[in-house]
């Protein structure tokens, strides 16, 4: 069993924690595309003003930098240049890879396609290589993408592989099959570039832990675990499967069609060479509020996941 501290109870200041080259703090978040959130999602209880870009952008930046993550993996990014500019002032560098036919570009007043992005702290990490992938389903390109970076921790020379993705949305047996196929293609893509480096795989997989893709990822030859599941330390839970130990929700929203509260976002990691120290807990139901999210407090319908890893030392 891993000994875990919840991130929100850490006594050390952020800057002190991340200055250690054996510590790696990773943030995963579907930030909610501005075009989709405002025009497509049909959030029933969220005031229009809370969805305005001028309101959301400060909340998004605040949440991205609050815990000083070394690595930021985000999805539904349709304001990459804004994020690059602001995060640049905070010491981050980043890369963006758009979806080939993003639904955003069909929306009036859009700001370009949405896609995945990775930012990394430039004083701690060097970018050695970046790779992109349009995920294939049965050898045919889909509309979902992945972005991979090989990063080197400057002080120790330790190399790591970071990958992020946003898989096909919507419910149903066919869609869950398609996601599983995307997951297989994603693992092949990662296997081609990762070698034996520690891997951190973050994303919005649009799949609950009961879906086939969850098992596919954990059964891969890379030896993956799910950070939030493996961080659950209560004695009885140790006997439960990984899927049963996931948080109760990573997204919680009320659309015209009804309320949706489930876990579809994950931070997967190679168990051999990364050790989990802590995760940031999801906000409580009370903190979230009866109208759920997005809201004036939480700018996305997904919550951010933050995990502290130890790397390169036993
Ligand atoms: P996905 O299935 O991957 O979903 C696209 C986005 O829709 C995701 O960001 C997803 O968010 C969001 N979403 C999921 N459920 C809902 C919901 N109930 N209401 C509103 N938004 C939701 O889409 P693809 O990229 O594969 O594109 C296909 C979709 O986009 C089709 O529905 C198609 O109609 C539309 N499209 C239209 C085009 C056009 O107008 N010509 C062109 C291209 C696409 P999350 O991951 O957070 O759930
Ligand atoms: Ca969405």
Complex-level ipTM: 0.91
Range of 255's domain?
5-10+20-311
Which residue's alpha carbon is nearest to atom 34 within ligand 1? 103
Q: Is residue 79 part of a domain?
A: yes
Q: Domain with 174 in it: what CATH number?
A: 3.60.10.10
pLDDT greater than 90 at residue 218: yes
Q: Is residue 255 part of a domain?
A: yes
Other Cβ atoms less than 10 A from the Cβ of 23: the count is 20
CA distance 30 to 204: 6
Q: Is residue 150 part of a domain?
A: yes
- What's the mean per-residue pLDDT of the chain? 94
Residue 3 is predicted with a pLDDT of 46
pLDDT band at 48 (very low <50, low <70, confident <90, very high): very high
CA distance 166 to 116: 7
pLDDT band at 6 (very low <50, low <70, confident <90, very high): low
**How far, in Å, from the CA of 158 to the mean position of ligand 2?**
34
Q: Is residue 15 part of a domain?
A: no
Q: Is residue 194 part of a domain?
A: yes
Which ligand places an atom closest to the C-alpha of 250?
Answer: 1
Q: Is residue 235 part of a domain?
A: yes
User: Can you tell me whether residue 175 is helix, strand or coil?
Assistant: helix
Residues 97-107 have a mean pLDDT of 98
Which ligand places an atom closest to the C-alpha of 41?
Answer: 1
Q: How many CA atoms lie within 13 A of 113 on its CB side?
A: 13
E-assigned strand segments in the chain: 5-6, 23-30, 71-77, 92-98, 115-121, 125-137, 140-153, 159-166, 199-204, 224-226, 251-255, 258-262, 265-270, 274-279, 305-311
pLDDT greater than 50 at residue 10: no
pLDDT greater than 60 at residue 237: yes
Q: Is residue 157 part of a domain?
A: yes
How many domains does the structure of the chain reveal?
1
Q: Is residue 136 part of a domain?
A: yes
Residues 32-61 have a mean pLDDT of 98
pLDDT greater than 80 at residue 232: no
114-173 pLDDT, tens digit each: 999 999 999 999 999 999 999 999 999 999 999 999 999 999 999 999 999 999 999 999
pLDDT band at 314 (very low <50, low <70, confident <90, very high): low
> Comparing 6-10, 15-19, 234-238, 266-270, which segment has the lowest mean pLDDT?
6-10
Which residue's alpha carbon is nearest to atom 16 within ligand 1? 41
Cα of 223 vs its chain's centroid, Å: 19
């Amino acid at each position: 069993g891993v000994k875990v501290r919840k991130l929100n109870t850490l006594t050390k200041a952020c800057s002190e924690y991340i200055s250690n080259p054996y510590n790696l703090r990773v943030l995963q978040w579907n930030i909610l595309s501005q075009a989709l959130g405002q025009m497509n999602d049909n959030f029933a209880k969220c005031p229009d003003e809370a969805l305005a870009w001028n309101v959301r952008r400060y909340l998004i930046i605040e949440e991205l930098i609050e815990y000083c993550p070394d690595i930021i993996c985000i999805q539904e990014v349709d304001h990459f240049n804004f994020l690059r500019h602001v995060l640049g002032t905070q010491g981050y560098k980043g890369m963006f890879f758009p979806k080939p036919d993003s639904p955003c570009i069909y929306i009036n007043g859009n700001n370009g396609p949405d896609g995945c992005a990775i930012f990394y702290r430039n004083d701690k990490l060097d970018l050695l290589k970046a790779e992109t992938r349009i995920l294939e389903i049965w050898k045919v390109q889909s509309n979902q993408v992945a972005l991979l970076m090989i990063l080197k921790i400057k002080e120790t020379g330790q190399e790591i592989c970071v990958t992020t993705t946003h898989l096909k949305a919507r419910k149903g047996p066919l869609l869950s099959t398609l996601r599983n196929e995307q997951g297989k293609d994603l693992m092949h893509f990662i296997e081609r570039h990762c070698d034996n480096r520690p891997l951190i795989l973050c994303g919005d997989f649009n799949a609950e832990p009961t879906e086939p893709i969850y098992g596919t990822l954990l059964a891969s030859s890379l030896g993956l675990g799910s950070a939030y599941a493996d961080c659950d330390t209560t004695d009885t839970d140790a006997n439960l499967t990984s899927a049963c130990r996931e948080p109760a929700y990573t997204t919680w929203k009320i659309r015209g069609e009804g309320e949706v509260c489930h876990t579809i976002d994950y931070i997967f990691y190679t168990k051999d060479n990364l050790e989990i120290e802590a995760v940031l807990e999801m906000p409580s139901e009370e903190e979230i509020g009866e109208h759920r999210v997005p809201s004036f407090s939480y700018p996305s319908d997904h919550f951010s996941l933050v995990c502290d890893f130890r790397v390169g030392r036993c």
